[in-house]
Amino acid sequence: MRNAKNLFGLGVSLYFWGLMDLTTTVLSGSARPLTEGPEDNLSDKLHQRMKRSWVWNQFFVLEEYTGTDPLYVGKLHSDMDRGDGSIKYILSGEGAGIVFTIDDTTGDIHAIQRLDREERSQYTLRAQALDRRTGRPMEPESEFIIKIQDINDNEPKFLDGPYVASVPEMSPVGTSVIQVTATDADDPTYGNSARVVYSILQGQPYFSVDSRTGLIRTALMNMDREAKEYYEVIVQAKDMGGQLGGLAGTTTVNITLSDVNDNPPRFPQKHYQMSVLESAPVSSTVGRVVAKDLDEGINAEMKYSLVDGDGLDVFDINTDPNYQVGIITVRKPLSFESKKSYTLKVEGANPHLEMRFLNLGPFRDTTTVHISVEDVDEPPVFEPSFYFVEVPEDVEIGATIQIISAKDPDVTNNSISDPGRFFYVDITSGALMTARPLDREDVSWHNITVLAMELNNPSQVGSVSVTVKVLDVNDNAPEFARFYEAFVCENAKAGQLIQTVSAIDRDDPQEGQHFYYSLAPEAANNPNFTLRDNQGLVVRLQASWITRVEIAFIQKEMLKDNTAWILTRRSGFRQHEQNIFYLPILISDNGRPVLSSTGTLTVHVCSCDEGGMVMSCNAEAYVLPVSLSRGALIAILACIFVLLVLVLLILSMRRQRKQPYIIDEEENIHENIVRYDDEGGGEEDTEAFDIAAMWNPREAQLVVKNRQDMLPEIESLSRYVPQACVMDNNVHNYVLAKLYEADMDLWAPPFDSLQTYMFEGNGSVAESLSSLQSVTTDSDQSYDYLTDWGPRFKKLAEMYGATDSSGALW
């Protein structure tokens, strides 16, 4: 039986449908069914069989069968099959029962699905013949292959298309551009189904393609990018060697002609006319020239230079790399009085040349530029061009910190740009003065701009930047860095550290921050706690075994600490006796003058465990009544909230009430209304009110009531004030003090803007402008013209017109 099993398919006849003829392999000698005789006789008979002459292990079947009936593949047949149906054929393996089926009686194999060689080219299956009655194998299991034969059912495809390529313009004929490749999914080993031939459908006569390799080349000489830059080439790939009936596929190749330097630059104008102001600063732009180049990219880059002219040392030219234009700039200061015009010869050239196109040159061109210098009225110039001023923060209001000067003698008016209104500049002398108190801790640097303009031409403005550094003075006392709250255990021992405190100071002295701590005088003999300043530890470290260098180092490090220790002076603290202690601590700095403040340390007496961990700090626990429910708590909180809203509403309504606009008479000593029957004496009348108050600068410290109905608008000083009008220093300081007072209290009167008027009076050039004395003068002015103005001016005509003895006006 073992030998019989090793003889694979000796009693099987295989039939092939398609290209193979029906072939049958028979056994030599007589053959009996395996069911006849005992098993030993069967073994003897099998040992007598001879090997068959042909052994077939493959079937072939065409792909893409489109019929409605199953496709016949082949036939399996055993020599033991006598046609009585006693043999049962079984098919297993790849696609068995799904793609291929077998008639278990006849052994016919059919394909029940459409086959595609491109999806799968072969199937490996196994066949077996069984006794239908007993199920015993009549033949050993045999393995065979069904191969799918190809037909031309796939067109060539360009998997990488569409393609993008470029080739330099003016390239010789035959220059390689790009190679395209088409793939055919058909079997290249069977017929011409996968043999591809390339051709151009669109793009001639500019380009050609190799029919075998798909390499695209130029086919026309002197292709100019400036004439046509983009080409669309359509390439076809056809199988079956390009024969009739073959399948074809196409792709698009977008070809761009890249630029070469084959066009020289040219100026569109041979003469340029430009003008420049004599006040133009150095490096300012005068004008632009441009040379046109039909090329692009690096081939269109230009380099401009001045090659001739009488302004080579006065002007310069630079090339703008983005727009390839020549920018003419001022090299030296100009003067209309010295020279009114210049002539320049400008050259534009390509820096990148190609040797094979030099015959198309020269790749350079020139143009002439005429520049006229225009006269201007120059603005004032400050000397120096920048001011740096250092001023202490405790400087008085109105103190002069810097004199700002301008070069132009026509300058008669100055102004300042200071958003914080900390400074003021005198409009005639240029003196920079303080208008508000300075505080380094709020603003340590001030950047302001001072403007100077001409009296006859206000549009001519010069400016200068002034940087003011505020120097620190010791005007802030040290204070605790945070709120300190300490805890001491009932079992604490004397000398135990319970808190380390530190302080901060807004000042910034040059020698650094050094703080000194001590108990306040009222707590100097505190029996419960004591304070140890850590800076004092340095003194006690001065032992004989410590060197001076080490002492200095320790002192330096300890001074950086700036802390103090709070220690217990006794033991035996009890909560029921006193559970909270308040310890006032005095903190002093090292400034001049020395400033100090007192901070309070709150110490709670707590019950602790043996390890010093706090357990409870309350003398007696607070117990919430059990009968108070959550709903009651919510109702109580809601009532409190409603009451709070009502209080805030009442306060808001009271604040919105209008306040009286006029300040109390006893506080406003400069706006008292004085009534008298005599006429005023102008500026010489000093009896109407006490003018001495205006000479006291300390009036700036008076407290003024707030006015909340409107914001004042403080206008700037007039620009046109003669230089001869110089204000007295005391009056000037008083005005600055009042200005500071108005700036600090935005709700205080006066609300009118500050204006500067011409001085008038008997002692001024304009004389008195008052009309009070006009009635008593012996003026011979006639008012007869009032009678001609109509009935509306009849009353004035009767008052001022002259009358005759009869009472008639004349």
Q: pLDDT band at 544, cuts 50/70/90?
A: very low
State mean pLDDT over 345-373: 91
pLDDT at 763: 56
pLDDT at 420: 66
- pLDDT exceeds 60 at position 667: no
Q: What CATH fold (topology level) applies to the domain 271-374?
A: Immunoglobulin-like (2.60.40)
Q: pLDDT band at 209, cuts 50/70/90?
A: very high
State mean pLDDT over 23-45: 34
- pLDDT exceeds 60 at position 658: no
State mean pLDDT over 215-239: 92
Which among 24-28, 68-72, 764-768 has the top mean pLDDT? 68-72
pLDDT at 678: 53
pLDDT at 806: 43
pLDDT at 751: 56
Percentage above 70 pLDDT, the chain: 72
- The upper half-sphere exposure of residue 143, i.e. CA atoms within 13 Å in the direction of its Cβ, equals 4
What CATH class is the domain 157-258? mainly beta
Q: pLDDT band at 44, cuts 50/70/90?
A: very low
Q: Is 608 exposed, middle or buried (0-12, 13-18, 19+ CB in 10 A)?
A: middle
d(CA 257, CA 557): 77
Relative to beta strand 596-608, strand 485-489 is: parallel
d(CA 328, CA 767): 59
d(CA 794, CA 810): 13
pLDDT tens per residue, range 777-803: 455 567 777 777 878 788 787 877 655
CATH architecture of the domain 58-149 equals: Sandwich (2.60)
State the first-to-last Cα distance of the chain, in angstroms, to the nearest integer: 170
Residue 744 three-state SS = helix
**Among 530, 459, 432, which residue's Cα sits nearest to residue 488?**
530
**Among 590, 592, 621, 616, which residue's Cα sits nearest to residue 604?**
616
Handedness of CA 100, 105, 106, 107 (dihedral sign): positive
Q: pLDDT band at 754, cuts 50/70/90?
A: low
pLDDT at 174: 92
d(CA 353, CA 362): 10
Q: Is 583 exposed, middle or buried (0-12, 13-18, 19+ CB in 10 A)?
A: buried
State mean pLDDT over 434-450: 85
Per the CB < 8 A criterion, the answer to whether 236 and 199 are in contact is: yes
And the tokens for 196? 């591809």
Model pTM score: 0.38
- pLDDT exceeds 90 at position 509: no
Q: pLDDT band at 264, cuts 50/70/90?
A: very high
- pLDDT exceeds 60 at position 263: yes
Residue 317 three-state SS = strand
d(CA 680, CA 184): 118
pLDDT tens per residue, range 566-621: 999 888 888 888 888 999 999 888 888 888 888 888 999 998 888 778 888 875 54
What backbone phi and psi angles, to 5 degrees, belong to 654? -70, -35
Per the CB < 8 A criterion, the answer to whether 484 and 601 are in contact is: yes
Q: Which of 556-560, 727-731, 736-740 has the lowest mean pLDDT?
A: 556-560
State mean pLDDT over 256-261: 92
And the tokens for 645? 């809203």
Q: Which of 294-303, 307-316, 662-671 has the lowest mean pLDDT?
A: 662-671
**Among 241, 248, 251, which residue's Cα sits nearest to residue 193?**
241
Q: pLDDT band at 129, cuts 50/70/90?
A: confident
- pLDDT exceeds 50 at position 88: yes
d(CA 125, CA 74): 13
And the tokens for 134? 């007993």
Cα→Cα distances 620→129, 451, 488, 564, 607, Å: 102, 73, 17, 32, 12
* Mean pLDDT estimate for the chain: 75
d(CA 458, CA 415): 12
d(CA 530, CA 42): 122
| Domain boundaries defined on the chain | 58-149, 157-258, 271-374, 381-471, 479-536+560-616
> DSSP string of 250-275?
EEEEEEEEEP-S-S--B-S-SEEEEE
Q: pLDDT band at 54, cuts 50/70/90?
A: very low
- pLDDT exceeds 70 at position 679: no
Cα→Cα distances 265→233, 291, 359, 746, Å: 33, 6, 14, 68
Domain 58-149 and domain 271-374 have a common topology:
yes
Per the CB < 8 A criterion, the answer to whether 142 and 12 are in contact is: yes
Percentage above 90 pLDDT, the chain: 22
Superfamily of domain 479-536+560-616: Cadherins (2.60.40.60)
Cα→Cα distances 420→215, 247, 647, Å: 77, 86, 37
Per the CB < 8 A criterion, the answer to whether 155 and 196 are in contact is: no
Q: What is the CATH number of domain 381-471?
A: 2.60.40.60
Q: Which of 75-79, 285-289, 706-710, 778-782 has the lowest mean pLDDT?
A: 706-710
Q: Which residues of 457-470 are buried (b: 16+ CB within 10 A; e: fewer)?
A: eeebebbbebebeb
pLDDT at 329: 96
State mean pLDDT over 425-447: 84
pLDDT at 236: 94
